[in-house]
Structure 1
Amino acid sequence: MFHRIRRRRAEEEIAGILRQQAEFQARMAANQAPLPHLAQPAGAPEPPAEPAPTVDDFLPPELRVPSHDQVEGRMMPWPWPIVLDSEVVACAACETYRDWLIISTRDQVWLRCRAGHEQLEPRLDTAWFNRHSGPSDATHATFEDCLRHLGH
């Protein structure tokens, strides 16, 4: 019983402190005037602005990463089985269920098995791909180059 009384008193004290702080901030906001050394007279001319110096971009061209609109798609290896809606996804042609290559292109996700069969997976989307993929380690000019890079 005494702990309830102590807790209620503590809550009342906290509420009183918060109320005092809010009143103080309201008074300060009402009494605040612009600082005289920051205000300029109405007729004073503005100093001429110096042009900003031009500098090259931060990164040299060989270190820049292409944006999403500059690449056709992205791929990542996925050695584990893919389980969607309590069902293991298997290749429609050879029925393998692991060692996938996941391809994200044009807001679609495609699965490619080790044998080279590809199938559209409508239950996966680009957001799922972005959550599960890491940073890109390379860019390739052709689809075949990327397949070779990923070991397929």
Structure 2
Amino acid sequence: MFHRIRARRGVAELQQQTYEAYLRIAGQAPVEDAPTQPASAAPGEPAAVVDDFLPPELRVPSHDEVEGRMMPWPWPVVLEDEVVACADCGAYRDWMVLSTRDQIWLRCRAGHQQHETRLDTPWYNRHAGPVDSTHATFEDCLRHLGH
């Protein structure tokens, strides 16, 4: 029992010492910001340019470099308590959702496309997974996704 009391007393003393050290440090002047240039470079010389980017074959195209994105949507699309159906063939599930130029298009399995004004790019971004591949043509992407 006495060894527990001694152990607690040691912890309390350590806590007291830590608190006193904190008070001493808190009263000191703040540390100045580190210099922005490395010490080896002279003040008048420009910093060396280092190419730290990935090689071109490993880079993912930015949003500006792609025409659009698409994802499969096997479920019915329900908007405002209404199931969206294809205007041409009446299909209501197994869609391909296309996002291009801030517009959302639905494409049915038969290849009919319709602009869906009730969906927007933030909706697409919330529901789309990560990009797993890029394709040069629209048909290549459809083939990749099984349409």
Q: Kindly indicate whether residue 134 of structure 2 is the aligned counterpart of residue 144 of structure 1.
A: no
Residue number in structure 1 paired with 2:129:
134
Mapping of residues 1-152 of structure 1, within 5 Å: 48-49=42-43, 51-152=46-147
The one-character-per-residue Cα deviations of 1:73-123 (angstroms, maximum 9, x if unpaired) are: 000000001100000001111111100000000110000000000000000
Partner-residue secondary structure (3-state), 2:114: strand
Partner amino acid for 1:76?
M
Mapped partners of 2:53, 2:146: distance in 1:
34
Aligned residues: CA RMSD: 2.3
Superposition misfits of 4+ residues, deviation over 6 angstroms: none
Query: Cα offset for 1:59?
Result: 1.3
Mapped partners of 1:112, 1:93: distance in 2:
11
Mapped partners of 2:42, 2:144: distance in 1:
56
Query: Cα offset for 1:52?
Result: 3.1
Which blocks of at least 5 consecutive residues in structure 1 are unaligned? 1-31, 39-46
Partner amino acid for 2:128?
S
Partner amino acid for 2:73?
W
Partner amino acid for 2:142?
L
The one-character-per-residue Cα deviations of 1:23-74 (angstroms, maximum 9, x if unpaired) are: xxxxxxxxx7856x95xxxxxxxx9336433322331111111111100000
Mapped partners of 1:57, 1:33: distance in 2:
39
Partner-residue secondary structure (3-state), 1:48: coil
Partner-residue secondary structure (3-state), 2:122: helix
How does the TM-score come out when normalised to structure 1? 0.68
Mapped partners of 2:130, 2:120: distance in 1:
18
| Identity over aligned pairs, percent | 73
Partner-residue secondary structure (3-state), 1:103: strand
| Residue correspondences, number | 114
How does the TM-score come out when normalised to structure 2? 0.70
Partner amino acid for 2:95?
W
